[in-house]
Amino acid sequence: MVTLNDKILLRKPDARDLEELYALKNDEETNALIGGFTTGFSREMIRDWILLHINAPDEVLYVIQDLGSNKLIGHVGLYKIDYRIRKAEFAILIGDKEARGKGYGKQCTDYMVRYAFEQLNLNKVELSVLSTNERAIYIYRTYGFETEGVLRQAQYKNGRYHDVILMAKFNHLCTYMEQAVTPK
Protein backbone atom coordinates (compact mmCIF):
# COMPACT_ATOMS: atom_id res chain seq x y z
CA MET A 1 0.00 0.00 0.00
CA VAL A 2 1.11 3.51 -0.81
CA THR A 3 -0.33 6.79 0.47
CA LEU A 4 -0.02 9.89 -1.72
CA ASN A 5 -0.32 13.32 -0.07
CA ASP A 6 -2.48 11.93 2.76
CA LYS A 7 -5.40 11.92 0.30
CA ILE A 8 -5.02 8.85 -1.86
CA LEU A 9 -4.32 5.23 -1.03
CA LEU A 10 -2.96 2.95 -3.73
CA ARG A 11 -3.45 -0.72 -2.91
CA LYS A 12 -3.87 -4.07 -4.62
CA PRO A 13 -7.47 -4.79 -5.67
CA ASP A 14 -9.37 -7.48 -3.82
CA ALA A 15 -12.84 -8.99 -3.54
CA ARG A 16 -14.16 -6.08 -1.41
CA ASP A 17 -13.73 -3.81 -4.47
CA LEU A 18 -16.15 -5.78 -6.63
CA GLU A 19 -19.21 -3.52 -6.34
CA GLU A 20 -17.34 -0.24 -6.68
CA LEU A 21 -15.33 -1.48 -9.68
CA TYR A 22 -18.54 -2.80 -11.20
CA ALA A 23 -20.11 0.67 -10.97
CA LEU A 24 -16.99 2.51 -12.23
CA LYS A 25 -16.38 0.20 -15.17
CA ASN A 26 -20.02 0.29 -16.28
CA ASP A 27 -20.36 4.07 -16.29
CA GLU A 28 -21.09 5.18 -19.87
CA GLU A 29 -19.60 8.68 -19.52
CA THR A 30 -16.34 7.31 -18.12
CA ASN A 31 -16.06 4.60 -20.74
CA ALA A 32 -16.61 7.08 -23.56
CA LEU A 33 -13.20 8.54 -22.65
CA ILE A 34 -11.27 5.29 -22.59
CA GLY A 35 -10.18 3.17 -25.51
CA GLY A 36 -10.66 -0.56 -25.39
CA PHE A 37 -13.22 -0.51 -22.60
CA THR A 38 -16.94 -0.81 -22.95
CA THR A 39 -19.97 -0.97 -20.71
CA GLY A 40 -21.72 -4.20 -19.97
CA PHE A 41 -19.34 -5.81 -17.50
CA SER A 42 -20.97 -8.43 -15.30
CA ARG A 43 -19.95 -8.92 -11.68
CA GLU A 44 -18.37 -12.20 -12.69
CA MET A 45 -16.28 -10.39 -15.32
CA ILE A 46 -15.13 -7.87 -12.69
CA ARG A 47 -14.27 -10.71 -10.27
CA ASP A 48 -12.21 -12.37 -13.03
CA TRP A 49 -10.56 -9.00 -13.83
CA ILE A 50 -9.49 -8.64 -10.18
CA LEU A 51 -8.07 -12.18 -10.07
CA LEU A 52 -6.26 -11.77 -13.39
CA HIS A 53 -4.57 -8.54 -12.39
CA ILE A 54 -3.56 -9.40 -8.83
CA ASN A 55 -1.85 -12.54 -10.11
CA ALA A 56 -0.21 -11.16 -13.26
CA PRO A 57 3.60 -11.41 -13.02
CA ASP A 58 4.17 -8.61 -15.53
CA GLU A 59 1.99 -5.93 -13.91
CA VAL A 60 1.86 -3.49 -11.05
CA LEU A 61 -1.79 -2.58 -10.57
CA TYR A 62 -3.43 -0.58 -7.78
CA VAL A 63 -6.94 0.56 -7.06
CA ILE A 64 -7.14 4.24 -6.12
CA GLN A 65 -8.99 4.98 -2.90
CA ASP A 66 -9.90 8.46 -1.64
CA LEU A 67 -8.89 8.47 2.02
CA GLY A 68 -11.38 11.21 2.94
CA SER A 69 -14.44 9.31 1.76
CA ASN A 70 -12.92 5.79 1.60
CA LYS A 71 -14.46 5.54 -1.88
CA LEU A 72 -12.76 3.69 -4.66
CA ILE A 73 -12.25 6.24 -7.43
CA GLY A 74 -10.37 4.22 -10.05
CA HIS A 75 -7.27 2.19 -10.79
CA VAL A 76 -3.78 2.76 -12.12
CA GLY A 77 -1.12 0.42 -13.36
CA LEU A 78 1.89 -0.60 -15.33
CA TYR A 79 1.09 -3.44 -17.71
CA LYS A 80 3.09 -5.71 -19.99
CA ILE A 81 6.28 -4.96 -18.08
CA ASP A 82 9.17 -6.18 -20.21
CA TYR A 83 12.42 -6.24 -18.25
CA ARG A 84 14.48 -7.24 -21.28
CA ILE A 85 13.43 -4.21 -23.31
CA ARG A 86 12.88 -2.20 -20.09
CA LYS A 87 9.47 -0.81 -20.91
CA ALA A 88 5.87 -0.99 -19.72
CA GLU A 89 2.43 0.27 -20.67
CA PHE A 90 0.74 2.77 -18.37
CA ALA A 91 -3.00 3.16 -17.85
CA ILE A 92 -5.18 5.00 -15.40
CA LEU A 93 -8.91 5.27 -14.80
CA ILE A 94 -10.42 7.97 -12.61
CA GLY A 95 -13.96 6.69 -12.83
CA ASP A 96 -15.55 8.64 -9.99
CA LYS A 97 -16.77 11.92 -11.48
CA GLU A 98 -16.50 13.75 -8.15
CA ALA A 99 -12.80 12.86 -7.97
CA ARG A 100 -11.93 14.36 -11.35
CA GLY A 101 -10.16 17.69 -11.49
CA LYS A 102 -8.65 17.31 -8.00
CA GLY A 103 -5.17 16.31 -9.16
CA TYR A 104 -5.54 12.62 -8.32
CA GLY A 105 -4.75 11.53 -11.86
CA LYS A 106 -1.62 13.63 -11.95
CA GLN A 107 -0.45 12.36 -8.54
CA CYS A 108 -1.02 8.73 -9.52
CA THR A 109 0.67 9.23 -12.88
CA ASP A 110 3.66 10.84 -11.19
CA TYR A 111 3.98 8.01 -8.68
CA MET A 112 3.66 5.20 -11.22
CA VAL A 113 6.10 6.70 -13.73
CA ARG A 114 8.65 7.38 -10.99
CA TYR A 115 8.13 3.80 -9.77
CA ALA A 116 8.74 2.49 -13.29
CA PHE A 117 11.98 4.42 -13.65
CA GLU A 118 13.35 4.38 -10.10
CA GLN A 119 12.20 1.00 -8.77
CA LEU A 120 11.80 -1.16 -11.88
CA ASN A 121 14.70 0.49 -13.74
CA LEU A 122 12.66 0.82 -16.92
CA ASN A 123 13.68 3.06 -19.79
CA LYS A 124 10.28 3.70 -21.39
CA VAL A 125 6.69 4.05 -20.24
CA GLU A 126 4.17 4.11 -23.06
CA LEU A 127 0.43 4.60 -23.27
CA SER A 128 -2.45 4.98 -25.68
CA VAL A 129 -5.24 7.51 -25.33
CA LEU A 130 -8.32 8.40 -27.36
CA SER A 131 -7.78 11.63 -29.28
CA THR A 132 -11.05 12.95 -27.81
CA ASN A 133 -9.81 12.60 -24.20
CA GLU A 134 -8.32 16.09 -24.03
CA ARG A 135 -8.00 16.17 -20.24
CA ALA A 136 -5.86 13.03 -20.19
CA ILE A 137 -3.71 14.20 -23.11
CA TYR A 138 -3.07 17.49 -21.30
CA ILE A 139 -2.00 15.68 -18.12
CA TYR A 140 0.28 13.33 -20.04
CA ARG A 141 1.93 16.18 -21.95
CA THR A 142 2.48 18.27 -18.82
CA TYR A 143 4.13 15.26 -17.26
CA GLY A 144 6.52 14.87 -20.21
CA PHE A 145 4.86 12.25 -22.38
CA GLU A 146 5.41 12.89 -26.08
CA THR A 147 3.36 11.75 -29.04
CA GLU A 148 4.95 8.87 -30.90
CA GLY A 149 2.21 8.30 -33.43
CA VAL A 150 -1.48 8.11 -34.18
CA LEU A 151 -3.53 5.03 -34.95
CA ARG A 152 -6.23 6.39 -37.21
CA GLN A 153 -9.80 5.28 -36.55
CA ALA A 154 -8.56 2.58 -34.17
CA GLN A 155 -11.49 2.66 -31.72
CA TYR A 156 -15.24 2.69 -32.26
CA LYS A 157 -17.21 4.58 -29.61
CA ASN A 158 -20.65 6.17 -29.58
CA GLY A 159 -21.37 5.41 -33.21
CA ARG A 160 -18.14 6.71 -34.72
CA TYR A 161 -14.47 5.92 -35.11
CA HIS A 162 -11.81 7.68 -33.05
CA ASP A 163 -8.08 8.06 -33.45
CA VAL A 164 -5.80 6.66 -30.76
CA ILE A 165 -2.70 8.65 -29.83
CA LEU A 166 0.40 6.71 -28.82
CA MET A 167 2.56 8.53 -26.27
CA ALA A 168 5.71 7.71 -24.34
CA LYS A 169 8.02 9.07 -21.70
CA PHE A 170 11.64 8.01 -21.44
CA ASN A 171 13.86 7.71 -18.42
CA HIS A 172 16.37 10.32 -19.57
CA LEU A 173 18.90 9.22 -16.96
CA CYS A 174 18.93 5.71 -18.46
CA THR A 175 19.12 7.07 -21.99
CA TYR A 176 21.98 9.40 -21.02
CA MET A 177 23.88 6.61 -19.24
CA GLU A 178 23.50 4.25 -22.21
CA GLN A 179 24.84 6.91 -24.56
CA ALA A 180 27.79 7.53 -22.28
CA VAL A 181 28.91 3.88 -22.27
CA THR A 182 28.14 3.02 -25.91
CA PRO A 183 31.35 2.76 -27.97
CA LYS A 184 31.54 5.17 -30.87
Q: What is the pLDDT of residue 135?
A: 87
DSSP code string of 113-172: HHIIIIIS--SEEEEEEETT-HHHHHHHHHTT-EEEEEEEEEEEETTEEEEEEEEEEE-H
- How many Å apart are CA 66 and CA 54, to the nearest integer? 20
Longest dimension (CA), the chain: 57
Q: What is the pLDDT of residue 152?
A: 97
pTM above 0.85, yes or no: yes
Domains: count for the chain: 1
Left, alpha or beta for 176 (phi > 0: left; psi -120 to 50: alpha)?
A: alpha
Query: What CATH number has the domain bearing residue 132?
Result: 3.40.630.30
Q: Which domain holds residue 38?
A: 2-181
> pLDDT 10s digit of each residue in the chain, 184 long?
899 988 999 999 999 999 999 998 888 887 777 766 566 789 999 999 999 998 899 999 999 999 999 999 999 999 999 999 999 999 999 988 888 888 899 999 999 999 999 999 999 999 999 999 998 999 899 989 999 999 999 988 878 899 999 999 999 765 444 444 455 5
Identify which of 78, 85, 92, 58 has the alpha carbon closest to the alpha carbon of residue 174.
85
